Amino acid sequence: MATCVRLPRCGAPRLRPALLGPRAGGGAPGPGPLRTYAPGLPAALLRTDSFVGGRWVPAAAAFPVRDPASGAELGRVADCGAPEARAAVRAAHDAFRGWKGALAKERSALLRKWYDLMMQHKDDLARIITAESGKPLKEAQGEVLYSAQFLEWFSEEARRIYGDVISTASREKRALVLKQPVGVAAVITPWNFPSAMITRKVGAALAAGCTVVVKPAEDTPFSALALAELANQAGIPPGAYNVVPCSRRRAQEVGEALCTDPLVSKISFTGSTATGKALLHHAANSVKRVSMELGGLAPFIVFDSANVDQAVAGAMASKFRNSGQTCVCSNRFLVQSGIHDAFVSKLAEAMRASLRVGNGFEEGTTQGPLINEKAVEKVETHVSDALAKGATLVTGGKRHQLGNNFFEPTLLSNVTRDMLCAREETFGPLAPVIKFHTEEEALVIANAADVGLAGYFYSQDPAQIWRVAEQLEVGMVGVNEGLLSAVECPFGGVKQSGLGREGSKYGIDEYLEVKYVCLGGL
């Protein structure tokens, strides 16, 4: 067993290098050597190789995965390139022939078994998420439950893929509509929800009868590989679920290989708008089906009629979950003049009272580190730009004393539309407040962005609620509510925030083709 070493700054221990032996009971070969990882991480779920065709496959090179809280190396993971990506696609393509022919009930049962295993290992999976992403353990536990629920949901949706019978104008003809799986799906996921973003896509794909190749984010590959281990234990057939991790250096190469491979029929991507556009360009040459959940710039509007305390509570939930690193986090707070000062004062008070920065494994931590140095620099840039242009610093505003990737939760007032924090997604713990006077003005500001993923507003006026909900140019609206994601509800945006929907009964349609069959001579 590895030896425990205490980290001097946060008190969280880490382990020295360990070599883990083969897994008992046969099956896929055991994982390769793990260099350094946090305490209590489950050896049985920590995998370092790619997972292709039901086997753990090493790569010629490996890349380090680091704890964003300390910078310590958690382990080294297979650094796959284009050849490995293409091999995974071939494995998925070979498996597709059998998987698409499985009964819906059979696919449902296997997804349900995968869900059951996630629930059995929920604490281990949460520790992996916290170790590689830095998010507080309580939030990681919530993500695991959310992630598993997508497998549960789509295990049920697998048996509800219905076709149609259409009446025709001819007595001799009958018209049928079939829904069939599109084929191999390439799934490219982000680091901020390293488990849930996989199951939300893969659950739908497998339920529909598709097979998948997952390229996880380079910062958080361990969650994807742990899910592969559990999928294997659940009996998901070899080749139906494949994982090809890679370093940042090879991400473009692997992404291009997946998007241009003629055996891939579907691309599903969550990430930045810029990367999404590049992947769309690659996918266009072979006209692949594409669904994308891209960047956001969520407005959070507080009208004079709002309950201030409720609005503050909603702002705290919406803004500071995962230290502001979610695509649906409120990015711009628009507060009407009559309630502005009270809202800013109460929000500042709530931030000082309830937000605690620290290592995600420490009890009581609500704000973990940002994912890397580049993320911290972006928050710093947005804060310094706003202050230089006349914003007022209410609280926070700099790197936290813990150093590394920690940043103080920050509140700015007197923010104007020309500031970077009002025009760009910050992806950090920064809450900029813009004062407005009329409903029309608020809608103009909110809808000025070229993206539209989520939006929030607080009002007690029923007529205003209908007007604003209908006029906000976003894919999802929270009315008097700061948290809106749910497995039963469609997730996605408009404008440059993406294409298609995930989750809900609509999510499975992204992986199905509609086929019309005309029966004649009757």
Active site residues: 293
Contacts of 420 (CB under 8 A, 6+ apart): 381, 382, 385, 386
Instruction: Write out the H or E segment, with its range, that includes residue 439.
Output: helix 439-446
In degrees to the nearest 10, what's the CA dihedral of 63, 379, 138, 116?
Answer: -50
* CA-CA-CA-CA torsion sign (133, 136, 142, 144): positive
Dihedrals phi, psi of 108, to nearest 5 degrees? -60, -45
Q: At what angle do helices 122-133 and 221-234 cross, to 10 degrees?
A: 160
Tokens matching residue 14: 């880490």
Contacts of 387 (CB under 8 A, 6+ apart): 393, 397, 412
- Partners of 51 in the β-ladder: 56, 243
How far is the C-alpha of 53 from the C-alpha of 303, rounded, in Å?
54
Measured from the Cβ of residue 223, the count of other Cβ atoms closer than 10 Å reads 30
Of residues 449, 445, 444, 452, the one with CA closest to residue 495? 452
Residue type, 431: A
Q: Is the CB of residue 189 less than 8 Å from the CB of residue 270? A: yes
How far is the C-alpha of 444 from the C-alpha of 453, rounded, in Å?
16
Q: Is 500 left (phi over 0), alpha (psi -120 to 50) or beta?
A: left
Of residues 308, 382, 372, 384, the one with CA closest to residue 340? 308
Please measure the distance between the N-terminal and C-terminal CA atoms of the chain and give it in whole angstroms: 72
Residue type, 278: A
- Partners of 517 in the β-ladder: 176
Contacts of 138 (CB under 8 A, 6+ apart): none
Q: In the chain, helix, strand, coil percent, each to 5? A: 40, 25, 40
Residue type, 288: K
- Burial of 16 per CB tally in 10 Å (0-12, 13-18, 19+): exposed
